[in-house]
Structure 1
């Protein structure tokens, strides 16, 4: 199916796949009173803009954002997977930053990261992006823009001036280093035979032909 043939409802349906985590809204009223609800408020407060916070799984993509942007980010969170020395990754990141799309960035640095990326549905092309439940392999400005439009992200940045984008983190945690092998274990691995530890020095006072009684001197 060609991307151009996708209708807006179909694109939204694709984006919504996998984005079923429960959302809890933190609503700040005109009087400053904070309430929590599983239903989004119909209109934001004029005197005190409502702020959306999501819980119940996934990243808090809508935390601390203006109401409308937070609602979109909570429903269709954006995550990009990038690598080092990757110009297309830089282009994708710049598009999201310039448009004011809040996103999470995960880096691909090891074979374990690459395997985990493949398990997420990627064909190993970077950048790899997830917009809600929609996977996008490689960077195409027109394609990314169409899906961001379909999700409802504003075309110009609505991020507050104090917004700070989360730092990029590796997709997988590095494995813990194995404990160093002892000298005998290393010798066993090399020869295939267990090395007998050296015998302790003989006790000069132990029984022997010259001292059958084991007398101590």
Structure 2
């Protein structure tokens, strides 16, 4: 078994039930990728949520994935849908990082739907550590199991144990969600928003003040 060493981050940063259950998983391909779940329980009640169906929902499910950027829906095969539902895959990566590129290419070649979290700032590094990393990349999370560093055989075994197919079964029109920062940028505080609004208003007032009067002659100057 040939093991490819991980890249140190520090060097880069300084049985079905009655009634079928239909689950629609929507992936938004873009910088603000989001998930929305729509599912129908055994009583025929439709649920909409940003969280997956509860664990006591029937294991036999039909999952549809839609890319808002591409438009058409892509239905996942049952085995892949179940694995993605109960043991989602998350890849922590950085750039430039050849090993991360190899890891990503492996997931794509095997047809694994995954989320990618990029690690490029100290805040991202803190989020990586919170996720169970040790400062090395890439980091793979499959459900609650983690694998630090890229070793294809180990990743293959981990994914197979989690129920993912060994062959690529993704529909041709499937679109992978765009990577997002491991730590989303902080939102401005109320004080910062108020200060920005006040500055914008002052700038606009200054601009209007410089405009010549409506009845000014062509040679009018302040």
2:108 to 93, 97, 118: 97
Displacement of 1:25 after TM fit? Answer: 4.0
Secondary structure of the corresponding residue to residue 107 of structure 2:
helix
- The match for 2:90 is 79
In 1, Cα distance between equivalents of 2:162 and 2:94: 25
The 5 Å alignment of 1:32-51 reads 35-37=40-42, 38-41=57-60, 51=62
Counterparts in 2 of 1:21-36, with a 5 A limit?
Answer: 25-26=21-22, 35-36=40-41
- Structure 1's unaligned 5+ residue stretches are 1-23, 29-33, 42-49, 55-62, 183-217
Contact 1:25 1:52 in 2 (8 A): no
For 1:44, the equivalent position in structure 2 comes to none
Tell me, yes or no, if structure 1 residue 163 matches structure 2 residue 174.
Answer: yes
Partner of 1:144: 155
Contact 1:25 1:53 in 2 (8 A): no
> Could you tell me which residue of structure 1 aligns to residue 122 of structure 2?
111
Alignment match of 2:165 (pick from 142, 145, 154): 154
**Which structure features the higher share of strand residues?**
2
Contact 2:79 2:163 in 1 (8 A): no
Match for residue 133 of structure 2? 122
Structure whose alpha-carbon radius of gyration is higher: 1
Change in CA separation of 1:147 and 1:114 when aligned onto 2, cut-off 3 Å: same
Q: Which has the higher contact order (CA 8 A, sep 6+)?
A: 2
5+ residue gaps, structure 2, are 1-19, 25-38, 43-56, 66-73, 196-222
